[in-house]
Structure 1
Amino acid sequence: MEPSELRRAVEAGRATASGLGLRVDDATVVHNSDRVALRLVPCDVLARVAPSGLLADSEFEVEVARRLADAGAPVAELDPRAEPRVHVRDGFAVSLWAYYEPMGPEIAPADYADVLLRHHAALRQIDLDAPHFTDRVAVALREVSDRERSPELPDADRALLSDTLGGVSASISSDTAGHQLLHGEPHPGNLLNTRRGPLFVDLATCCRGPVEFDLAHTPDDVAQHYAEADPDLIRRCRALTWAMFSAWRWRQDDRMPDREHWRVAGLNKVRAALST
């Protein structure tokens, strides 16, 4: 968010928690992108604040979290002191979550695979209307296809991303027999090492697809510890996920820090995945 919008988002998060009787003396920005994560103290709440245009996404995330918590999934939970819903305040959608103090060391590949296996098992226990991963691919493809939305994307790279998003997605989705609910983006930034053990966060990306689509977001060594995963399908999913990542970086309105670096790095990752 831009500084002026960020200030309003922080105030909306503080005011929402305070209005529910939680003590808020200070707010620290933990993450800032299209939505903001705030640590509120001393009540120790993580407030996720999004523009009201993302209200449906925020409500979906809260519903996913609520159902997964009931299923015993390894996920960050909503703050128990507040009603499990999204609060709308001053043009923002605010949800309140338990804050987990990060811990080291880095999660080992075998432990990463284990928590993802348990997460997938919990996802199979819930009945949820979620998009297919190809719906997200289609959004990325529209960004690449629209030169006004991605005017700086070179023609050769536009063709690479278009072919990957369209062709690889079609090859993966041709057989949906083994598809299930997924996290959607279980990369290391969305897996916290906490006193309770590893917990997944950022649940708004939940979608349907093969488990290999999730594994493509994890470090390379994780997949060998995940029983019966298809290495070739992981490779194709990895190319696809990096193509989606690259499509977002070439959007004219993308605000990711160090965007120029990630534009080049993302394209190189696509090429590397396709060449193996």
Structure 2
Amino acid sequence: MRSRPEHLSDESVRACLARSGIDAAVLEHAPVGFGDHHWHVTDAGGRRWFATVADLTRKPHCGPDRDSALAGLRAAMGVAVRLRQAGLEFVVAPVGEPVAELDDRYALSVFPHVAGVPGHFGQELSEADGALVQELLARLHATPVDAPAIPIAPPPPDADGPWGDGPYAERARLLLRQHEEVVRRRRAEFAELAAVVRRLPVVLTHGEPHPGNLIRATTGFRLVDWDTAGLAVPERDLALLPGDLSRYRELTGRTPSPEALRLHRLRWPLVDLAEFTDLFRAPHDDDPETALAWTSFQDTLAALATG
């Protein structure tokens, strides 16, 4: 997130870091990403860390309310810890307490600093880099680690209840109404695909292995942001990759299902649509994050309209 979290001081973050044994000598808010808040940390011994603060009231993929989101986030971060312990060096897992409560709204995870070049969402992977990511995913999908199951069906956009009076509420409501038929058709298409995909075997997946969650280190890619980890068909990850997935087929002996790839390429905008709708129905301000969400909301509906 570009803006700092509401009512959360650096001292609160510093105190929580101390519970993981990190004496933060330097704490610098990092205006990056979308969804979570981040700090660059340097401890008293000069070692660098990266702290992430999650707003548990805005973590719907982890749980619909504060307590279930905390439980879901802890389950997902626990998966990352176990993967790292299993020898997957590309997994950037939290240290100390994987998810520590800061207060009744926020929770913190702290990670070792990864030296390298971070990617960004929307960046196009080269064919060679796509093959490297396929290699990581082949290893991930073959690792037997307990994890929560990811439901196939995305939540529907809840447009029937009352809307607030936030600056984007009425615009969002009208735009969603204009696309009612498009959304209905896409959800019907999704239901047909889901009937096929539910019969396929599941593996441990990351959920969002796009360039924005990749860091190019000197010894290869590192994969961050494991809060979406869980059991699903491999295509949940593969649907985000370019190319023909030949390297993945070579390593696993498995040909990705066209139906599962289509389902997960459709599921992403349907999930985004529901989350943006919830955002604009609730009280909100006109800030950089909300403005970005409004642009993404329009882009999501346009993508669903064009298929």
TM-score > 0.5 by shorter chain:
yes
Q: TM-score, normalised by structure 1?
A: 0.79
Whose RCO is larger (CA < 8 A, sep 6+)?
2
The residue identity in structure 2 corresponding to 1:27 is E
Instruction: Describe the SS at the equivalent of 2:266.
Output: helix
How much does 1:66 deviate? Answer: 0.8
2:183 is aligned with 1:161: yes
- How far did residue 59 of structure 1 move? 1.1
| Distance across 2 between alignment mates of 1:32 and 1:190 | 10
What residue in structure 2 maps to residue 271 of structure 1? 305
Equivalent-residue separation in structure 2 for 1:205 and 1:229 (angstroms): 21
CA distance in 1, matches of 2:176, 2:200: 37
- String of CA shifts for 1:202-239, please: whole Å, max 9, x gaps: 11111332222222223x33645432224454234212
1:191 equivalent in alignment to 2:214:
yes
Any gaps of 5 or more consecutive residues in structure 2? Answer: 57-65, 164-171, 250-254
How far apart are residue 183 of structure 1 and its match? 1.0
Aligned AA for 2:17? A
- Please give the alpha-carbon distance, in whole angstroms, between the structure 2 residues aligned to 1:207 and 1:246: 21
**Structure 1 counterpart of 2:32:** 31
Contact map agreement 2:206 2:229 (CA 8 A) in 1: yes
Mapping of residues 96-245 of structure 1, within 5 Å: 96-103=110-117, 108-134=126-152, 137=154, 139=155, 141=156, 143-144=157-158, 146-148=160-162, 151-175=173-197, 176-218=199-241, 220-221=242-243, 223=245, 225-227=247-249, 228-231=255-258, 233-245=260-272
CA gap 1:122/1:154 in 2 versus in 1, 3 angstroms? closer
Deviations 1:89-120 (A, max 9, x none): 33332111112133279753333343344334
Residue 151 of structure 1 aligns with an amino acid whose one-letter code is R
CA-CA distance at 1:9 after TM superposition: 5.7
Question: Which of the two has greater helix per residue?
Answer: 1
**Alpha-carbon distance between aligned partners in 2 of 1:103 and 1:225, rounded to the nearest angstrom:** 24
Residue matched to 2:98: 85
Give the Cα–Cα distance (whole angstroms) in 2 for the partners of residues 209 and 4 of structure 1.
34
> C-alpha displacement at 1:130, in angstroms?
1.1
Q: How far, CA to CA, are the matches of 1:122 and 1:259 in structure 2?
A: 31
- State the match for 2:16 in structure 1: 16
What is the percent sequence identity of the aligned residues? 19
Any unmatched runs of 5+ in structure 1?
A: none
Shift of the alpha carbon at 1:256? 4.8
**1:261 equivalent in structure 2:** 295
The verdict on how the C-alpha distance between 1:207 and 1:18 changes in structure 2, with shifts beyond 3 A counting, is closer
Instruction: Give the SS at the match of 2:179.
Output: helix
Structure 2 length as normaliser, TM-score?
0.72
Most deviating of 96-105 and 61-70: 96-105
Aligned equivalent of 2:276: 249
